[in-house]
Amino acid sequence: MDTLTRRPPRPLWQIKRAWLIGLPVGMLTFLLAIAPPIPEAQRAGAPLLTRADGQPFRYLPDNDTYALDFDPRQVQIDLFEGWDREQEAYADPGALAFVSGPMYERHVEAGGREITVPLGDLKFGDRVWRGRNRTAARQRAYVGIRHDGGVEFGYGELTPERARRFESFIGGLHSIYNDLEPPPPDYRGAYSISMGQQIRYFLPRIRMLIGLRPDGRMEVLMSRDGLTLEQTRALARSRGLRAAYMPDHASKSRFIVPGAKGFSDADANWISGGATSFVHVPYMLRLSRRAVPLQGSLLAGLAVSGGPAGCGNPFQCGQTLGGQVVDRILAGLNRLIEQGVEPVARLIWAPRGNGNQRPSQRAPFREPPISADPLALQARQQQEIEGTLAAGEAPAPLELPADNALAAPEMLPADPASTDREAATAGNETPAVGPPGAATAMPAVSPAAPAATGVPLAPLPPPLPPPTPN
């Protein structure tokens, strides 16, 4: 009787179908379950957390980030060229801050001269550096400062029309998000060429952000710990940024405030995952006081570019919900990589250092040597990898191109209006950037005269140690 009532075995194709459907559904459900919670600020919108109160420049570090924000009408951006000039930047009395510039690549000219070229276009005043990789320049994002001081976060290269419209243009950036302008079809992210590079997005590497505040000011921040892509987006949302771009991942992060925040060997070891041979940079972005402030409103054109909130029809609502689900799944994948895959990987490939590296369980993986480093540095790194330096042997001093790290800029015709303004203020003293004695303002101070400014100065950071031979 039991033999007659026993159910026949399920066909093999039904078992395979159940596995094919159930396994992906189970994995997606698992990733959604372990995803970190969405920050309250992201749920509630994008509030302006702090008021500038008329201060053109502020340095506002906290427990999670080093951050500054500024009014681009009174603070100008320029290039600080040359290799290994971090200590000079820290001691620069005429600068407000130095931060990372966009990605770059190395070229060797026909005569053997070595130069570096930004991947995106750069324009500061009447000087323009154009990337030689025009495809990369067109497929990246940019930040532009108009002649009236307004800021635009957009996509693409420096066209003739943009060269006329913008006083400053920083191309070659990578979009975290932009609530004011959707990316065009030809936009490509930071690492979209191969799967190996795309995986870098999901490791806790990102540190630098350039953002647009709701009041039209620009904000630059560097996280104290490496962030994943989803964490970076959540951090920018929590700070109320309308758009957030990054110049690069971790290895070339620079954030220097003269007299307050230097660049020490601990910083170098941290951003390179504990390796003393940190990634070098041929230039940084230098913030300083404008001799002649730009005239205009920071909020002009900001609200016009923003699209309507929410969804207008069922199709848009479905797209919005689908995007949110995908974001949550990616956030769960980030959590799985951070707390599952990455600790196992660290047992196999742990960062090597000399004991002075920053003690953190979330330090990024060590960065490999990049092709944009000078040839002299690449030769030394190769010697260290091959172990050709004898034990205790001091490496030979490097001769890096300090003055000619970048290709010569293209000079555009000067703007007649700006020329007239500069001529009218010739010989006048540069106006102060912030109110004297303001606790939250960071004036340009001289390390040689701390008593005159009333601002206590940090000691000069120690020089970087020589690379440790293998």
Give me the tens of pLDDT residue by residue for the chain, a chain 470 residues long: 455 566 777 777 777 777 888 888 888 888 888 776 655 444 444 444 578 888 999 999 988 899 999 999 999 999 999 888 899 999 999 999 999 999 888 887 777 777 888 989 999 999 999 998 899 899 999 999 999 999 999 999 999 999 999 999 999 999 999 999 999 988 987 655 555 555 555 566 778 999 999 999 999 999 887 777 778 888 898 899 999 999 976 678 899 999 999 987 666 655 555 444 567 888 999 999 999 999 988 877 675 444 444 566 677 677 667 766 776 777 777 777 767 776 676 666 554 444 444 444 444 455 555 556 777 666 766 666 566 555 556 556 556 655 456 778 888 876 655 555 455 444 444 444 443 333 334 443 333 333 333 333 444 444 544 544 44
* Strand duo 57-59 + 283-289: pairing: unpaired
- 229-238 vs 314-336: helix crossing angle, rounded to 10: 120
Closest CA to 150 of 215, 210, 216, 209: 216
Token duo for residue 23: 């396994």
User: Contact, 150 vs 301, CB < 8 A?
Assistant: yes
User: Contact, 150 vs 216, CB < 8 A?
Assistant: yes
User: Contact, 120 vs 100, CB < 8 A?
Assistant: no
* Strand duo 166-178 + 122-124: pairing: antiparallel
User: Contact, 223 vs 65, CB < 8 A?
Assistant: yes
Classify 165 as helix, strand or coil: helix
Range of the domain at 272: 40-307+414-453
287 falls within a domain: yes
Sign of CA dihedral 280, 282, 285, 287: positive
240 falls within a domain: yes
Closest CA to 286 of 442, 81, 52, 102: 81
User: Contact, 232 vs 238, CB < 8 A?
Assistant: no
User: Contact, 35 vs 27, CB < 8 A?
Assistant: no
388 falls within a domain: no
Q: Which pLDDT score is estimated for 441?
A: 44
**Contacts made by residues 197-200, CB under 8 angstroms, sequence distance 24+:** 200/249
Token duo for residue 342: 């990455």
Token duo for residue 378: 């690449």
Token duo for residue 73: 């009408």
Report how many helices (DSSP H) and strands (DSSP E) the chain contains, helices first.
Answer: 15, 17
β-partners of residue 330 are none
DSSP H helices, 225-313, are 229-238, 265-271, 302-305
CA–CA separation, 129 vs 283, rounded Å?
12
Q: Which residue has the tokens 């550096």?
A: 129
DSSP code at position 261: B
Q: What is the largest CA-CA distance in the chain?
A: 110
56 falls within a domain: yes
Please state the separation of Cα 346 from the chain's center in Å: 25
Q: Which residue has the tokens 């690069």?
A: 248
φ, ψ of residue 383 in degrees (nearest 5)? -60, -40
335 falls within a domain: no
DSSP code at position 146: E
Closest CA to 76 of 118, 27, 125: 125
438 falls within a domain: yes
Tally Cβ neighbours within 10 Å of residue 356. 15
Report the number of distinct structural domains present in the chain.
1
CA–CA separation, 158 vs 164, rounded Å?
10
59 falls within a domain: yes
**Contacts made by residues 189-193, CB under 8 angstroms, sequence distance 24+:** 190/246, 190/248, 190/249
Token duo for residue 430: 């540069």
Token duo for residue 5: 């009532």
348 falls within a domain: no
DSSP H helices, 131-211, are 134-138, 160-165, 195-199
Within 13 Å and on the Cβ side, how many CA atoms surround 145?
26
Q: Which pLDDT score is estimated for 432?
A: 41
Degrees, nearest 5: CA angle 280-212-136: 50
Q: Which pLDDT score is estimated for 229?
A: 77
* Strand duo 75-81 + 65-70: pairing: unpaired
H/E run at residue 208: strand 206-212
